[in-house]
A and B are shown apart, each in its own frame.
Chain A
Amino acid sequence: MRNYVLLVLLFSSITSLSQNCDNSLSGKVTDIHDGQLLTGVTLIVAETDQAVQTNFDGTYSFSNLCNATYYIQVSHPYCLTKGFTVKVSGDTNKSFKLEHHIEELNQITIEGKAYSDNSKTLHENTINKEELERFSSGSIGDALKSLSGVSALNTGNTVVKPLINGLHSSRVVIINNGVRMEDQEWGAEHAPNIDINSVSNLSVIKGAGALQYSGDAVGGVIIAETLKVPVKDSLYGKSLMTTTTNGRGLSLSSQLTKSYENGWHATLQGTVKRFGDFEAPDYILSNTGVYERNISVKVGFNRFDYGIEGYYSRFKNELGILSASHLGGARDQVRALESNIPLIIKDFTYTIKAPRQDVTHHLATIKGFKRFESFGKLNFQYDFQRNNRLEYDIRRGDDKNKASSDLQLDTHTVLLDLESHLTDAIILKSGIMTKYQNNFANPNTGVRRLIPDYDMYDLGLYFIVDYQLNDQLLLEAGGRYDYSYMDVFKFYKTSFWESRNYDQRFPEIVVEELSTQILTNPQLNFSNGSGTLGATYAFGEDYKLFFNYSIASRAPNPSELFSEGLHHSASRIELGDLSFKSEIAHKVALTFQRKNEAFSININPYINTISDFIVIEPTDVRWTLSGEFQVWEYRQTNAQLLGVDVDASYAFAENYRLKSQFSLVKGYDRTLNVPLIGMPPVNISNEIVYQNSEFNNIRLALQSAYHFKQNNYPNTNFEVFIPETEIRQELDVSSTPDAYHLLNFSSSIDINLNQKSKLTVGLWITNVLNTSYRNYLNRLRYYADDLGRNILLNLKINY
């Protein structure tokens, strides 16, 4: 060994004598599949035998090279070793790509290959780690809406729900670290319970094609994955700190990973976020603070042919709902709509008062895999989730500090999957899922249960076959069957029970008649089939065409079946229907892709035809002692959504790039021939990015986002009696806000602290011009403007 080193030294000294040899060669090594930076890659200059390894951001650097052509060998334990010829002339920058065999990273993933392959014939949009870090102080919904075709359904600025091609809530399935999230996702004001800082890769599949996860993703699937851990002796981590001027708060997140050559690894991660009242350009949005505390821990053991992993995460979020949005009845709504500013504006505070939400989500999972040479890779997973949602309303007397809604949803799931390579060209994935879920609504709230107590049992079976016909054409087909059984105990108001004729239609489910309520025991069964058929055709060097047809079936959720009463956060009475059946969606999606360093483009048109689509819409006005409330009833209809998403990236000069996005979706109720409510308006965004890896990887970006006015919406206005004037006045709840344009700036620079540590400093400004606007997809748009300018300072240390 010593001789070897001496030899290296000798050679390098010889060359340095012979000519001007103080040039450097540096660059990055990335995974050819997903552009992920690769750490621990060994690079050897054949001529000099100089050897270096890439550090944690995938960069390497050689010094003392001459102006000459070198042969460089690039190797990594889990990649094919490759040789490159590089011409060094002055200080040179050269990046390499390796074919990274993720399977051999021994990462335990139920889906087989991490970070890719969730569906082979549906185009996947991905947000990588660097981009996610920019949203560190926000939520997962904030990050997702940066993708084309994904928007956000907001309740104020703190509750952000992803909307995929116009659909949300139960129609969007979220997979977190291999686990399907069961976090009461049915509610429009229930945000996903995931810590964005625990995610290192976020993908969106705009369709139901990923059958290994579910058959009911009418809108799409969101997949959040945690960091991959390499099999080697190592200790590394990162810390992120973001301070913001809007909300005057702080977000702190840290992550530490220890891994061993023998396959053991452990990761600990935590996040704390604290924000006070946010601000619109002209006023404070009172009671919009956030206090979030999350922790996750992962321990695992990985070998090539078997592995096991345990993961636990706890997500806790307390958030305020805009004070001015809490209203009595329709007459209060008239007052709120007539006012240009919120009816309640108070001084800035960090205190979060009612109305507020306090949500805790526990997720624990154990998974393992074993490879059998004879029949393939077997995956096993068990997960447990406990979601506790407390909603506090403005109340009187003894109930003041008591939650008005206290729901606990427990879910146990067991999954067994098998991935077999039947031939070199054919891969069969198949699996079975069983699930038990229990919902418990605490009766001590003093408010009738919004969601009843229930037990639910699910069984799912699926298969997916991929057939690589030739280098160009890949075919995919899959099927899934889900059976679910719900055993429910529901109290109905006697007056409602009779007004719906349930006393004649469902007399057999009555358990007990009380003075004003009836206890019933509905037992519901749903059998759902779903399937997918697709093809991917690669042509030319850079082109791909994806075609996918999928059929998805979704059983109605508890809210759609059992709602019956005043929903305070929406200031309306919501009524479900016990006789709903599953909705069935047929989606055809096409993607044309050109993928090239200089110019990339994706064009993705789609059409989604949904029968028995469950919509909620106003049908009546009901008098109560708090005045009149609009009655919104769920109903099943035939719907159709069509649209196109485009995203493009063009490197128009060295270090400069233009990124553009465009999304359009139109939704119609085909039975009544009216537009669907709540469809995202057309939006277009353009971003100019300057990035120079030679100068501390400096990155400057300016983004312009234009959101059009939504002109297609149903008329849901209604009349309200105003006692002061004794006239009936129309309450305009359906008109959509005007178009708006936002300018966002972001910048970052890397500073190497020492060989192993790197500091990244970021400065971002959102809504640079402090534009006042209201967003159609914000449920509180009636009461206040959206967020004003926000300046964020972000420090990140990798170590």
Chain B
Amino acid sequence: MKKIKFLTLALIISTLFIGCSKDDDQQPQPVNEEEVITTLTVTLVPEGGGATVILQTRDLDGDGPNEPVITTGNLAAGVSYSGSIVLLNETVDPAEDITEEVEEENLEHQFFYTSGDDLDITTSNENLDTDGNKLGTEFTLVAGAVSSGTLTFTLRHEPTKPNTGIDDAGGESDVIATFNVAVQ
């Protein structure tokens, strides 16, 4: 009797074991990274004509070891530019336009523009979200006197809105891109 019980038990368990052994030797699927922002492009079009300035940072391997490739440009003193920002995920083909997502969730996002102490530029006229607060994917930039320094674009996710600037905005930085820029 006892023996039979034990044999039954052993049998049940061995079936379980066999039943659970793996039969899927197939390769795993690669993951398409849906959220990565690889590329930020700021297009500055001078009002009244002239050369368009493109500022771009591109990091195709995301958090991988390669540094971002940065393209910068110089501004003309006294010129007013109309600026726009485009974010792309170029790890997928065709590239995904992340700006669209940001604009869809405009209440939860805001771009900030920070110029280093010496760079003489001013920004204004940001586009607004559906509540009438700043979103900042489009803006106006006026280059002042001849100077040089850094220009930083920061996209904050879930900032406090409205705010008086980046210092009291809070939230989490989704994008930070710094360019060395000169006003000539």
Give the complex CA separation of A396 and B98 in angstroms: 9
| Residue contact A445 to B31, C-beta cutoff 8 Å | yes
Shortest C-beta distance, B128 to chain A (Å), equals: 20
Give the complex CA separation of A447 and B20 in angstroms: 28
Chain A residues in 8 Å Cβ range of B40: 625
| Residue contact B150 to A448, C-beta cutoff 8 Å | no
Residue B13 interfacial (CB < 8 Å): yes
Shortest C-beta distance, A402 to chain B (Å), equals: 9
| Residue contact A446 to B65, C-beta cutoff 8 Å | no
A301's closest neighbor in chain B, by CB? B5
| Residue contact B64 to A493, C-beta cutoff 8 Å | yes
Residue A705 interfacial (CB < 8 Å): no
Residue A328 interfacial (CB < 8 Å): yes
Give the complex CA separation of A512 and B22 in angstroms: 23
Instruction: Map CB proximity to B onto A701-728 as digits: 1 under 8 Å, 0 otherwise.
Output: 0000000000000000000010111100
Of A328, A380, A441, the residue contacting B173 (CB under 8 A) is A328
| Residue contact B31 to A443, C-beta cutoff 8 Å | yes
Of A97-105, A285-293, A513-521, A786-794, the segment with at least 4 beta carbons within 8 Å of chain B is A513-521
B165's closest neighbor in chain A, by CB? A724
Give the complex CA separation of A624 and B64 in angstroms: 8
| Residue contact A622 to B63, C-beta cutoff 8 Å | yes
| Residue contact A724 to B35, C-beta cutoff 8 Å | no
Residue A656 interfacial (CB < 8 Å): no
Residue B29 interfacial (CB < 8 Å): yes
| Residue contact A329 to B22, C-beta cutoff 8 Å | no
Residue A327 interfacial (CB < 8 Å): yes
Residue A326 interfacial (CB < 8 Å): yes
Residue B166 interfacial (CB < 8 Å): yes
Of B2, B13, B16, B170, the residue contacting A343 (CB under 8 A) is B170
| Residue contact B150 to A326, C-beta cutoff 8 Å | no
| Residue contact A329 to B176, C-beta cutoff 8 Å | yes
| Residue contact B170 to A344, C-beta cutoff 8 Å | yes
Chain B residues in 8 Å Cβ range of A441: 28
Chain A residues in 8 Å Cβ range of B157: 328, 394, 396
Within 8 A of B (CB), among A640-667: none
- Contacts A368-B9, A573-B63, A624-B59: A396 and B35 contacting too (C-beta < 8 A)? yes
Count chain B CB atoms within 10 A of each CB in A344, A449, A453, A726 and give the residue with the most.
Answer: A726
Chain A residues in 8 Å Cβ range of B32: 446
Give the complex CA separation of A495 and B69 in angstroms: 14
| Residue contact A724 to B29, C-beta cutoff 8 Å | no
B158's closest neighbor in chain A, by CB? A394
Of A344, A499, A515, A723, the residue contacting B150 (CB under 8 A) is A723
Chain A residues in 8 Å Cβ range of B178: 721, 723
Of B28, B91, B116, B172, the residue contacting A489 (CB under 8 A) is B28
| Residue contact B5 to A308, C-beta cutoff 8 Å | yes
Instruction: Map CB proximity to A onto B98-110 as digits: 1 under 8 Å, 0 otherwise.
Output: 1001101100000
11 further A-B contacts with Cβ under 8 Å, apart from A625-B38, A625-B57, are A332-B173, A344-B170, A370-B2, A382-B16, A446-B33, A447-B31, A519-B30, A566-B63, A622-B63, A626-B173, A627-B173
Between A and B, 10 residue pairs with Cβ closer than 8 Å are: A395-B35, A399-B34, A414-B13, A436-B22, A448-B31, A452-B28, A493-B62, A625-B37, A723-B152, A725-B117
**Chain B interfacial positions (CB closer than 8 Å to A):** 2, 5-6, 9-10, 12-13, 16-17, 20-22, 27-35, 37-40, 57, 59-68, 91, 93, 98, 101-102, 104-105, 114, 116-118, 149-150, 152, 154, 157-158, 166-167, 170, 172-178
**Chain A interfacial positions (CB closer than 8 Å to B):** 306, 308, 326-329, 331-332, 343-344, 366, 368, 370, 380, 382, 384, 394-399, 410, 412, 414, 436, 438, 441, 443, 445-449, 452-453, 455, 489, 491, 493-496, 499, 511-512, 514-517, 519, 565-566, 573, 622-627, 629, 721, 723-726
